[in-house]
């Protein structure tokens, strides 16, 4: 039976107060972190950023769970999804639903975060007032049925906020024992959870705002997507967004040799050690050689 779901207007009147409170608190704590630098804190933030942003959001939520650009054993899928929960961008089910709607209705009034509705809206306004990340069950069932049928994904999506809490406790313990003071533990939490989280959020949000506004366009897609090297550097390769909108299922976003794509290299690594298979990659350079050869022959 076809599941018919009428998507609501994305700019709903309902203000997401809880989201607002947490995003504001995280920003205040992140500013506090800047006064407590240490090399250990910086390393803690880099490692958690990499786990959450690259393994979790980029490889897990986006390339594996949303677009199914490769396959992994279940335990790897759950592990990447767990890394994604550290990124505090809701659970996989909400994230995948939102992102599949973004691809299905890009730059229309149903797109959860199109800059055509305002740059600030596309960047972060949409999580405070929109229906996105808070969809009802019928919408989740329509757009993420694969995950909705999986009890482990349902459980992780429900309690996604627990991962940063547990990570915070671990960082507090590590920071305290390294510095010999409880304050050292606290500052490591400021860096590894709060500051890292704020940087991680804005990096992801820039993919929704900046890479639909600024950068180059290799493919004439119907949307405004762009390739932006700066955003790609901040997001482990997610900034090659015009390539991605042209070939959404491709697990490889950086198509030319100079388009550095860390997430793709890691997926290739997983394939090499036998933890990823059926990896689909759009092969731009081969296709280009073919086109050149055909032109020469003509
Ligand atoms: Zn997009
Ligand atoms: Zn996508």
Read off the pLDDT of residues 48-95 as tens digits, 9 standing for 90 and up.
999 999 999 999 999 999 999 999 999 999 999 999 999 999 999 999
Between the CA of residue 281 and those of 50, 54, 68, what are the distances in Å?
Answer: 23, 18, 11
Closest CA to 92 of 44, 138, 139, 159: 159
Give pLDDT, residue 5: 61
Check: CB of residue 105 under 8 Å from CB of residue 143.
Answer: no
Give pLDDT, residue 3: 46
123's tokens: 């960047």
Give pLDDT, residue 287: 67
Q: Rounded distance, CA 212 to CA 115, Å?
A: 7
Handedness of CA 240, 206, 280, 260 (dihedral sign): positive
Give pLDDT, residue 257: 94
Q: Tell me the CA end-to-end span of the chain in Å, nearest whole number.
A: 50
The alpha carbon of 194 and the centre of ligand 2 are apart by a number of angstroms equal to 26
Closest CA to 98 of 61, 53, 56: 61
Helix axis angle, 196-208 to 39-49, nearest 10°: 40
The alpha carbon of 74 and the centre of ligand 1 are apart by a number of angstroms equal to 27
Give pLDDT, residue 6: 65
The alpha carbon of 282 and the centre of ligand 1 are apart by a number of angstroms equal to 18
The alpha carbon of 173 and the centre of ligand 1 are apart by a number of angstroms equal to 39
Q: Rounded distance, CA 174 to CA 50, Å?
A: 18
The alpha carbon of 151 and the centre of ligand 2 are apart by a number of angstroms equal to 24
Residue stretches of the chain with pLDDT short of 50? 1-3
Give pLDDT, residue 1: 39
Share of the chain above pLDDT 90, in %: 87
Give pLDDT, residue 7: 67
Give pLDDT, residue 294: 57
Give pLDDT, residue 272: 98
């Amino acid at each position: 039976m076809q599941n018919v779901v009428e998507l609501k207007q994305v700019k709903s009147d309902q203000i997401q107060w809880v989201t607002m409170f947490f995003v504001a608190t995280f920003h205040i704590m992140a500013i506090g972190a800047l006064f407590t630098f240490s090399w250990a804190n910086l390393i803690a933030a880099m490692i958690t950023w990499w786990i959450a942003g690259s393994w979790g959001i980029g490889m897990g939520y986006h390339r594996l769970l949303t677009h199914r650009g490769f396959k992994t054993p279940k335990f790897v899928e759950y592990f990447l999804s767990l890394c994604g929960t550290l990124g505090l961008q809701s659970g996989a089910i909400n994230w995948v639903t939102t992102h599949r709607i973004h691809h299905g209705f890009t730059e229309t009034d149903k797109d959860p975060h199109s800059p055509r509705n305002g740059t600030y809206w596309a960047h972060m306004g949409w999580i405070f007032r929109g229906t996105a990340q808070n969809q009802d069950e019928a919408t989740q069932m329509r757009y993420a049925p694969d995950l909705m049928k999986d009890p482990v994904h349902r459980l992780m999506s429900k309690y996604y906020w627990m991962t940063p809490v547990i990570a915070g406790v671990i960082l507090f313990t590590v920071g305290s024992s390294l510095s010999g003071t409880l304050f050292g533990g606290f500052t490591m939490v400021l860096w590894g959870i709060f500051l890292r989280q704020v940087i991680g959020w804005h990096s992801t949000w820039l993919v929704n705002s900046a890479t639909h506004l600024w950068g180059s366009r290799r493919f004439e897609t119907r949307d405004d997507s762009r390739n932006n090297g700066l955003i790609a550097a901040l997001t482990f390769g997610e900034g090659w967004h015009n390539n991605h909108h042209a070939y959404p299922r491709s697990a490889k976003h950086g198509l030319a040799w100079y388009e550095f794509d860390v997430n793709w290299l890691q997926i290739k690594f997983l394939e090499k050690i036998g933890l990823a298979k059926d990896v689909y990659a759009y092969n731009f350079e081969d296709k280009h050689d073919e086109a050149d050869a055909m032109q020469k022959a003509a």
